[in-house]
Structure formats: structure tokens, C-alpha cells
Structure 1
Amino acid sequence: MLESSFPEPQALGEVSVTPLLERALELYHLPLFDLIDQAHQVHRQFHHSADIQRCVLLSIKTGGCPEDCGYCSQSAHHDANVPRQSLLALEEVRAAALRAKERGATRFCMGAAWRSPPNGEPFERVLNMVREVRAIGLEACATLGMLNQEQADSLKEAGLDAYNHNLDTSREFYGQIITTRTYDDRLRTIAAVRKAGIAVCCGGILGLGESELDRCRLLAELASMQPQPESVPINLLVPIEGTPLASADPVKSTDLIRVIAVACILMPQSRVRLSAGRHFLNREAQLLAFFAGARSIFIGDKLLTTANVAEDDDACLLAEVSA
């Protein structure tokens, strides 16, 4: 079981600073409006300001995960009150994808609480889910845990557009949050996805107890990928009772916006995604996040097992962006 206390942040003087990390730190510590202005200028060079993709995330297999990620309610190591749910039937996923399209989503993401997807019938069912989502006319995205090359190739053949596999935090802080798989395990999965020709969706979580240095290290790691991730989801921790991080301090909205802005500048062609924890933000903070470079939201009642913004509120929010 992970400890819920956090180590003292490492002093910057003890850190080996790469050029990308140096740039990330420099940007992160700019006056807030100067940083947002830079990010918005970069954003406008590459993207339309009103291009905000709406996505839906469905848990296709819930709970019982053998990983010990300290933030996750689906870990078998923790005592969160999340009912286990076996892999959904193909018809259930098809119906959910149709509802997502009716609500204006263009990407449908499927998440399964596995260390890695089991071969045989369960994986074949997931491949059929991907085919169904594509047949409906939506982008298909999945997050299923670690993949080997054969699995990544099979997902590509089925039509998968994107695969999500977050780094979560910096390499240096990672061991305080997860012990059952390594940072390099995550990078190997990302490499398999990239080799298969699937778009990479890779980002992190704020509020795990990390320092500002850790946030900048994460951004530098992501920006160093060649090619850079097509999508960079930025999540706010949603503290859940029964997990080691249930009492974690909330992240200031301005810190989230700083991370989004730095991500936009360092990875100008990536789609920075405002992801979990968005319901903690008021409308003005969300609008500022879009101005700083975020170009995607998840719609729907929940994200896997956590709360999300009400649909009517999102409709008003997106109307403001395009007005």
C-alpha cells in the first residue's frame, strides 16, 4: 500500500537541467498573463480558437485492477467503494457510442481497468468495439493498460485512432504514486503504439503532491518525444475516499492554466485536453484554460468513475467560446 504522505520537493540546485526542462521552468514562472499571452499567440498560429473537440469516455471494464496507482478508485489495492463490472457487451458499447454521437461528441474513448488486456475473447471483443465505434462515424480511442507490439498492431488493424497511456507525473516523483509498473514500462507501451501507427494520447495528473519542478519535468518529457504526442490530456486529481490520495490538497486553477499554457508552447501542434477534474473549475477558469490552449473536453455525466460537468453547463460554456 502506498503511503499518503509526500516527500519534500527537491531543491532546484540539486537538479540536472536539460534545455527542454530549462525552457519549461522559464515559461512556468513567467507572470501569469505574459505566459497566457504567449500560449495564445502560439495556439492561434496552429489552431482555430473555437476548435474544441467533445469526447465521451466510457468504462468498459471497471474495478479490480492489480496496479496500485495511488489516485485510482479502481485499484484492487485500495478500499474505494467502486463496484466491479466485467467487460461490457458489444451491444452496450454500440448504444453508448450512438448516444455520444447524438450529443455532439466526435471521439469515443473506452477505458478498461487492466494491467494489460488479456488475450483471447476479451481482447477480440475490444477489437470489435473499436470497429463498431468507427462504423458509427466517431474517432475511436482506448486506454487498456500496457500493450505489447502484437496487441498494438491488432488495435491499429481494427481501426483504433488513438491510444491513451499517461505518464502521470515526472520520472523522479513517479515511484511515490505507483510501484507496480515502472516509468519505462509506460514508455515501452507508448513506443509500441507509435510503431503501430496509432496516435499517442499521453499526459499527466496534477494534484498528486508533486512539485512545480515535477510538473515541468513531465512537460519536458512529453515534449521530448519524437514525434510529440498528438494529444496531451491534463487532469486534475479527483480525490476519492479509500485511496491514498483521498486527502490531497486541491490544485489552484491558475496552476492548471500554467501547465496548459506551457504544454501549448512546448507542443504547439498537439491537442491539449482539459480532462478529469474539470468540474472543480468555474466557467471563467475553463474559458481561460481554452484561451491558454486547451482544445478538448469530455462531455457526459462521468469520466470512468468520477464526476463531470453537467451537460447544460457545457452547452453554455461552448456557446461562449464560439460567440
Structure 2
Amino acid sequence: MESSADDTAVAIVDGTTKKILSNVVMKQHDDQNPYGGIHPFVAIQCHQRNLPFAIRRALQEAQMTVHDVDGIAFTRGPGMAGCLAVSVNAAKALAAALQKPIVGVNHMQAHALTPQLTNPGEVDGYPFLTLLISGGHTMIVLANSCKTFKILATSVDIAIGNAFDKAARMLDIVPDPKKGYGAALETFCREETPIEDVPTTRLQPFPPLSYKLPNPLQPELFSFAGLTAAVQRVVESGEMDRDQRLVIARSFQRAAISQLTLKLKGSLDWCNKNGVKPKALVASGGVASNMELRQSIRKFLDEQPDGPKSLVFPPPEFCTDNAAMIAWASMHRFENGDFDDYGVLSLPKWSIEDLEKPLP
């Protein structure tokens, strides 16, 4: 079960065969769009409404009864406290009633390990680099095992997915009814409208945005608040027609992606300096479904003589939050009999680096 943000998700996975028997994700875009983001109380209410139906649908699609399930995994953290509590409490109550074992999973660990389930054979062992990019996180993580991770870069302010959402709202882009603002901005940028190059009268290389890539000497830090502020300054400078908004949207997207490749270069430099040879680069999280981003990262890796040549993206439906990744990330603990107590609590703040540390 997964309910760390605004997606209510339930899946059933066979760990032996790596077969996803069902994967149900219930979105909240219609409920959240009026607020321009995730309203915590609305998200909690939606989870409370949706989770029972998601559980029943997952069982029906897998053609199973709840008694056929061997164990129940859930997102323990990180995430929004009230949202996490919905699936945590549901999982514990259901497991206790059925006398099934439970395992609480780190949400970011699950994203990092997703390709082992969805792209078998493409991630051949450890270590590998993971670019975790979503509405709540922007991180570059070195995976040394299924439970040992090192953060090489993280955001000091907002996540890249949050920045995409903010920029789309400021540019009056109509949200995608199924995928939200960020996906709508990508679609808007792909429109085949011929637009003349913007005169280079402002800071380079992202005109008309007055913006430069931040922290060039700090490869471990992302920052996207300045980029959204640059969009806001242009938007507030006067009326804009559709073509002008398109130029700004494309400049924003190019700048955001350029920061990712800049920090990836810093992480690869760290690996080379420390004798680490990543076998692959995995990009996961909702923003990883952006096709412009995928092409840019592929081009970047091709230009790195000492970097990994294998670039792995989970299928788009497994880039965003889902419960299949939670089930998969729990498998090593179920197999080792390493279960959680029924009294286990959620951890809204839980670093991916702390998986082997004693937890409350």
C-alpha cells in the first residue's frame, strides 16, 4: 500500500517470479487542481475514501482473496504525515486481523529499486546511480545494495516536480486531467509552433529568463526556487500571448533539465575520484517520464567517457508513485523473516541513508 502524497495505490506482486499481478493507482487531480497543489486535508480525505476500493480492485485484478496474500508492505516514510497514516493504519489493522507479517518501506528506496522489478536484466548488480526526481524529492543516490545508499546530491529548497507545477500554474497552462500540471507543461513545450529565437538581451543561456544555473561549485546541491522566481518575474512584467508563454515554458524546462545534468556530472566526478564505477544510471520518480529529460540525459551520458553507458527508465506508469515498487522493495525483508511489529509508526522524515540504523 502507498499513500505518501496524493496517489492512493495498492498492488500485488509475486516476488519469486517478479510478476506484477495487479497495480492500482487512484489519482486526486480533480480534487487537488482547485488548490494548485496538494492540499493535505483534501489528500487525507481522498485516501480514506479511495483505499478500500483500491484494495478490493487489486485483489479482483489479481484474481485472489486477501487470504492468499503472504504479507503486507506499506510506505512507512518519508511523506506527508497524515497521508502516510492512512495506508500505515490500514496495513497494520488488516495484517493483525489476518495474522499476516508486515514490512514498512522507505519510499525513496522503493523508487530506486523499481527497475529491478520493471526492467529485469537492465540493472546488473550494484553499485548503480539513481536520479530520484519527483514532486517531493530531487536526489542523486548511489545504491551499493538494496538497503545501503549514499546521497550524492539533494535539493536545498523545492523539488523539480514542484517547480514544474509552479511554473505551469504561473503560465496559465491547463493541467492534464490525469497527470497534473507538470505533464501539461511538457505537452505544452512540445507543441509544434514555429517561434523565432528570443533576442539574447538577458542572462544566458536561458532567455528570456533572467537565470543562471545555481551552485556551480556545489555539485551536491540542487536549487529550483530561483528558477520559479525567474518565471514569476517574467510573468509579472506584463501581458503575454500564447507564443510568449511557450518561449518561457521551453526556457524553464531547458534550465531545469540542465541543472540535473550539471549535478550528474558532479556525482560522476565524485565516483571517479573515489574509485566507484556505477554499472548504470537509473532515473525514477514522476518527472522521469518527461521525454525531453530522457533525451537530454541520454545525450549527456554519451558524452561522458568514464560514466555508465546503461541508462534505465522504468515504464512511465512505474515512474510515478505506485504500490508495486513498495511491494518489491519489501521482498528482501520478507524473505529474511525481518518483519515489523504491528505497533510500528510512520516516519514522515526518513532518510534513504538511514535504512540500516535502529528506528523507533
What is the TM-score when the length of structure 2 is the normalising length? 0.26
